[in-house]
Chain A
């Protein structure tokens, strides 16, 4: 006999409880922020959450605000895309060729270990400030994506590869049925965490490189002119966009993963 149960994932009472919990946590931290602000009573050191909201509304009415967001987003996204692409291509090459992996290993080790600021300062000598955050985003995205693809290939189920070999699967079919399911879970995690890295590193790159416009430039200007309120506003914008993009990529990666799973089933 089959029994059916209602999934608690989207039950109304659980959703209400979850929302209430999130709201309570938000209220707690906002109250703490407000409390510290009132205790310091110095707008140079700390501004109130309400003041930040007001200023954000004010800023969002200006073209500069949206231009800075759009330009920063474009740069970081381009760097992220290039880093992912390079990670997939070279990770695949490294996974199948020990020589390629050995060749790339020192580069990966350096990129992973060195602070972003070192690269930014060095890259400023070679690259125009406008393109620097593209480069920085690329640098932080490439290693995790490369490693996810490489580890996926190395972790493939050898027993299934033998099935593919005995039944003389084509290379494409072997990749689709054996390698892809091994790579995808790691790849999904890598691309969704890397987007946060890319965003933060890209903005940090802008702060140091000072291109004509961008969130990083706005942050730096606000700091130089002691506009603490604006520093808070741009930080809030960065955090909000980082969370938003991370969630979006996670959803996209999940969707693509499911699609790939269906595709691998249907094309069998």
Chain B
């Protein structure tokens, strides 16, 4: 079942962030959302996640679906280990963390990791959660080129089975991964 967004409108005070945005996202494949900062990409994600209420419009096709999310920030639990963070919403953490090149850090705490490593833990957490829909907000920022390529490969394989919405500012990422690019 596709995710249908109809005439979504959201403003913060006087500032209109989303105005009558409509789009149908297929239930398989990767859609890249692009556009300059402040155009409402993250707000759209937050509305889809149920973290923000739209002023008008509707969203359908997400009811009862499990969502995996990579926020713009890593949002890891500081008191938990890397493995526990990855498995906080699902299983298979050791496997995904190994694919992310973090097998030596399973019992480390997030504050002892580099920014790129923490990003990969956040990605592993989303993969462990095994959602039917993936919402990812600039998920590859902070990764070095070689690692980024490896990680993007995982999502290129995954998109055949999942609906993935990716916010990115990098046209190369979109060109490599996306089946469709939406510019807001």
Chain A positions near chain B (C-beta within 8 angstroms): 159-160, 162-163, 165-167, 169, 177, 181, 261, 264-265, 268
Contact = CB atoms under 8 A, between A and B. Distances in A.
A184 B151 CA distance: 37
A58 B9 CA distance: 83
B171 interface: no
Interface string B79-95: 11100100111000000
Main secondary structure on B side of the interface with A: loop
Interface string B59-86: 0000000010101010101111100100
A121 B116 CA distance: 63
Interface of B: 49-51, 67, 69, 71, 73, 75, 77-81, 84, 87-89, 129
A221 B175 CA distance: 88
- What 6 pairs between A and B have smallest CB-CB spacing? A167-B89, A268-B84, A159-B75, A181-B79, A163-B75, A166-B69
B79 A166 contact: no
Given A159-B71, A163-B75, A265 B80 contact: yes
5 contacts: A160-B75, A166-B49, A169-B89, A181-B79, A268-B80
Contacts of A265: 79-81, 84
A76 B129 CA distance: 50
Contact of A177 (B71, B73, B88): B88
Nearest to B72: A159
Contacts of A181: 77-79
A177 B75 CA distance: 12
